[in-house]
Structure 1
Amino acid sequence: MISNIIEQDSYKELINSQIRDIIEYLLENNEEFAITANIDAMEFTPELPKNIKSQLSKFSLYILANYTYTTIEINNRNIMSFEAGFGSENFGSKVQLPLHSIFQIIIDDAILYLNPLATVDKFNSNPKEKSLNVFKNNPKNKNLIK
């Protein structure tokens, strides 16, 4: 069964390595590209306003071109970051996402790479956000949150 493979940590590391190699290749060759990525694994700094974040789908498209392209970085923990503007007011935020949460790498409307691991919830949930939601959903904590 495919889930026996894609839910293994060793497979996740293989995917991280493949995506890193592809993105580094594209950057070395000055090739702008787009990605679709699982928003559940992303962090935005500063946090996006609710009216903007609510407009994003679970697998949102990010076009990495122009200024945004120049801000792309991948750290040694396999986290990619870039700066982007969101919404009609072009709200600026730094986006951070694990490489394995990238579902597609796209060049000129053609899919260069497709990653099924981006759909595996166990690797793409934000544990801090889950913890906060559990806290918020407890009726005993309503008084603590304003």
Structure 2
Amino acid sequence: MLEGLLGSEEFHGLMKKHAKEVLEMLLKRGVNFSILTNIADVTFDPALPSQISQNFKPITMFFLAGYTFESTQIYNGRISFEAGFGSDNFGSLVSLPIEAILQIIIEEIPVFINLSTPPKAAVLVPKETGIKRSMEALMSNPNNHNLIKK
């Protein structure tokens, strides 16, 4: 039951909306914060050199303060910010979907925890397979045999 709720479109939408509202409030108030996210959901432009990107853990925290905080924008369901990485402070635009944020943290305290799991995408059934399954279901009732012209 819980899994069905956490994976529902409705709950996922609420978590996304709430994350966006929390982010907007923190940005408006000038409160520095961290976000915890799955690194697979993050894009970097330009791409980071491999000697930097190989050091990221699957779940990575980004601290938004100073110029990184000031460059933060929320648009089209994404959050983006400019950040420097590595000893050479390699600059890149970091971007990720808001729903990919697992936690928003202020002073080491989580103020937002995203408990939703992304709704599973509908499995696409090839047209021929779908027609075959429909026909099999129709023909499983003996009373429907006279509907098909042979």
- TM-score normalised by the chain length of structure 1: 0.76
Aligned to 1:12: 12
What's the counterpart of residue 85 of structure 1? 84
In the TM superposition, 1:1-146 aligns within 5 A as: 1-75=1-75, 77-117=76-116
For 2:70 and 2:7, how far apart are their aligned partners in 1?
A: 33
Q: Which amino acid aligns with 1:102?
A: I
Q: Mark the structure with the bigger radius of gyration.
A: 2
Task: Give the number of the structure whose residues are more often helix, by fraction.
Answer: 1
Question: Between Structure 1 and Structure 2, how many residues are aligned?
Answer: 121
Percent sequence identity over aligned pairs: 35
Cα offset, 1:121, TM superposition: 9.4
SS at the partner of 1:36?
A: strand
CA shift in 2, pair 1:122/1:52, >3 Å: farther
Pairwise CA distance, 1:66? 0.2
| SS state at 1:63 partner | strand
SS at match of 1:11: helix
Q: Deviations over 1:54-105 (max 9, x none)?
A: 1001111111000000011010x21000000111221111011001111111
Change (3 A) 1:94 1:121: farther
Pairwise CA RMSD of aligned residues? 1.8
What secondary structure, in the 3-state scheme, does the structure 2 residue paired with 1:57 have?
coil
Cα distance in 1 for residues equivalent to 2:119 and 2:48? 22
Spell out structure 1 runs of 4+ moving beyond 4 A: 119-123
Unaligned runs of 5+ in 2: 122-150
Corresponding residue for 2:142? none
Seen in structure 2, the aligned counterparts of structure 1 residues 60 and 2 have a Cα distance that, compared at 3 Å, is same
